[in-house]
Amino acid sequence: MYNQTSFNKEEVNRLKAVTYTLNKKGKIEEEKLKNSAVFDKKINDFLTVENFTMPNIQDGCVIEFKYTFKSPFISNINEFRLQETIPINMVKVHFSSPEYLIYKVHQKGWVPFKILESKKKRTMKYRPGAPDVVSDPYSVQSVSQKMSANDMKETTFTESVYETELQDVPALKQEAYISNIDNFAANIKVELSFTKYPNTPLKMFTTTWEDVSRSYYDSENFGRQIEKTNYFEDELDAVLSGINEPSEKITAIYEFVKQRMNWNSHWGTYAEEGTKNAFKTERGNTADINLMLTGMLRYAGFEANPILVSTKSNGIPLFPSRNSFNYVISGVENEGSLILLDATNKMGEPNLLNTEIINWQGRIIKNDGTSTWISLFPSKSAVQNTMLTMNISSDLLVSGNSQNRFTDHYALSYRNQYNNLAPDEVRKKLEEKFEQTKLTEIVFKNLDQSYVPVELSYEFTSEGVEEIGNKLYFSPMLFMTLTENPFKLEERKYPIDYEYPQLDRYIINITIPEGYAVSFLPESIFFKTENDIGSFKYLISQSGNNIQLSVAFSITQSLVAATEYEALKNFYEQIIKKEKEKVVLVRL
């Protein structure tokens, strides 16, 4: 629920819910929702979510709920969702609007459906001059009940009616590498095009992306915030003193804002505190901090502009609307390249954004109010280098040590996950990744430092060697083996979102036990997808009682079209098949 002011806000009313269960005698019992099970969760100063907990939930029960959602914001109608993560037997949508409010109706999703449009006459009573008639013709019905018949007038107008009905709607199927499955659900979006009240000039609401950009640019809480400089000039001049290299200046300004400011955990495209006050209190929302950063970069002589972003949880902005975005970052030009910056993230670096905001494209707004789309996907691969040295003991346990090095988004991910965790929590979290493996002597380096790779080392003891007769069998990748294909669907209609290119390299050295010799080694192999999206290299060799394996896995694109799904699925099947192959040792 959006709350603009105490008098101008959305409300959820008449919430009723029932859980139906079948008792031991085969009779239906119902339990109604209690007021104590309804609670609000404040997201920020403007947004609240109403939650409720259904009573007596158990296997086989049926739940039913309904509510009325009341909003004064006629230009922002919530999407009508037609598809869920469970199959739907039937869903109906009926939307009607008076001739004074003209809407455009958009549909999206991969499930085909038709929207039927019709017109009908409607008669209603109203009080002349009532403000509700101007803002919402339907709301005057509540007023009419308080008025005498002599005070009321009657009017007849035309309603536009939009209807659709779908049956046997397939479930949205969650799978690996889907940014936000709701982006691909079948739904209807209604957009206010214009208003034409009686005896009132027509007012246009339909916007282009340029209109959206200009409205931001002209806003006191957006464009005007970038122009303010007098609150930081002295301190920033001191920071930049003696720095001449442009890239060093950009980093210095970015680090100054990043280290000084503390994000209040509120997303937003408009400044909450205002950049000047946020600078003073050292605290603000995403817009306060990144609009401040943009202003400082411009003050230092750079071409810097804000970039509107929709987070993954907010969805992909498909239609021009100020409500399409919920985050803002900064972009600065240097040597012909656009550098993306988000100073809310203490562990961030230039062009290293948290994956929640790597959502296809952002809308960059130039200082003249014009705008264009820019890609948010990184072009640089995150790299993992792993070196394992292991020995197989006489009791068939494998022990050894692992040295790991992570760069870019891999490093950022480890910083986000493990920084400030207690040692025991770190161990448990790491061991969740590996089956039948115990870790000791775990050491992280650079978790609290940006701009350098994260390093991880540990000692390990693992199972995984099988003895049959006088032979030993084991996968040389041991607990690093890929055992499950992330792609399981027969067909996928939505793209594969890897978030960033990635390269994983492994060097594995294995010392075989005394009294054994190598009977069989898997063959070395290299293969890739036809369009070079993915590649896999597996090189294995033996020298005396040592086996050395070199493996390299890469994905070269951040976002892959759904048409490549089958090829990638087969690519992973080949990897799994290869990594499952066993080295065979025979007793001498």
Residue 458 forms beta bridges with which residues?
Answer: 402
Residue 566 CB partners (closer than 8 Å, separation 6+): none
Query: CA 566, CA 271: separation in Å to the nearest integer?
Result: 45
Query: CA 251, CA 270: separation in Å to the nearest integer?
Result: 24
Per DSSP, the residues of 58-76 read -TT-EEEEEEEEE-S-TTB
Helices assigned H by DSSP within 209-307: 209-217, 223-227, 233-240, 246-260, 275-281, 286-299
Phi, psi (deg, nearest 5) at residue 203: -125, 120
Burial label for 4, CB within 10 Å (0-12, 13-18, 19+), is exposed
Strands 262-263 and 283-284 turn out to be parallel
Query: CA 72, CA 53: separation in Å to the nearest integer?
Result: 27
Pick from 389, 414, 383, 572: nearest CA to 481 = 572
Residue 360 forms beta bridges with which residues?
Answer: none
Q: Give the Cβ contact number of residue 174 at 10 Å.
A: 9
E strand map for 431-582: 437-445, 454-462, 466-468, 471-474, 496-497, 502-511, 516-520, 525-528, 534-543, 546-555, 559-560
Q: Give the Cβ contact number of residue 243 at 10 Å.
A: 15
Query: CA 397, CA 391: separation in Å to the nearest integer?
Result: 8
For residue 414, give the DSSP letter.
Answer: H
Vertex 372 angle, CA 371 and 375, to 5°: 140
Q: pLDDT in tens for each of the 588 residues of the chain?
A: 666 666 678 888 889 999 999 988 889 999 999 989 898 887 766 678 889 999 989 888 999 999 888 888 787 788 899 999 889 999 999 999 999 998 988 888 889 999 999 999 999 887 765 444 444 433 433 333 444 556 678 889 999 999 999 999 999 988 999 988 888 899 998 888 888 888 888 888 767 889 888 889 889 999 999 999 999 999 999 999 999 999 999 999 999 999 999 999 999 999 999 999 999 999 999 999 999 999 999 999 999 999 999 999 998 888 887 778 999 999 999 999 999 999 999 999 999 999 999 999 999 999 888 999 999 999 999 999 999 999 998 888 999 999 999 999 999 999 999 998 999 999 999 999 888 899 999 999 999 999 999 999 999 999 889 999 889 999 999 899 999 999 999 999 889 999 999 999 999 999 999 889 999 999 999 999 999 999 999 999 999 999 999 999 999 999 999 999 999 999 999 999 999 999 999 998
pLDDT at 337: 95
Query: CA 236, CA 241: separation in Å to the nearest integer?
Result: 9
Assign residue 296 a region (left: φ > 0; alpha: ψ between -120 and 50; beta: otherwise). alpha
Helices assigned H by DSSP within 36-103: none
- Contact assessment for residue 36 and residue 13, using Cβ atoms and an 8 Å cutoff: no
Query: CA 582, CA 43: separation in Å to the nearest integer?
Result: 52
Burial label for 484, CB within 10 Å (0-12, 13-18, 19+), is exposed
Phi, psi (deg, nearest 5) at residue 299: -60, -35
pLDDT at 133: 41
pLDDT at 323: 76
pLDDT at 193: 85
Query: CA 319, CA 106: separation in Å to the nearest integer?
Result: 9
Residue 565 structure tokens: 């799904």
Pick from 77, 108, 112: nearest CA to 95 = 77
Sheet of 116-126: strand order equals 88-98, 153-169, 116-126
Q: What is the pTM of this model?
A: 0.85
Query: CA 360, CA 559: separation in Å to the nearest integer?
Result: 8
How distant is the alpha carbon of residue 40 from its chain centre? Answer: 23
Four-CA torsion 219, 220, 223, 226, nearest 10 degrees: -170
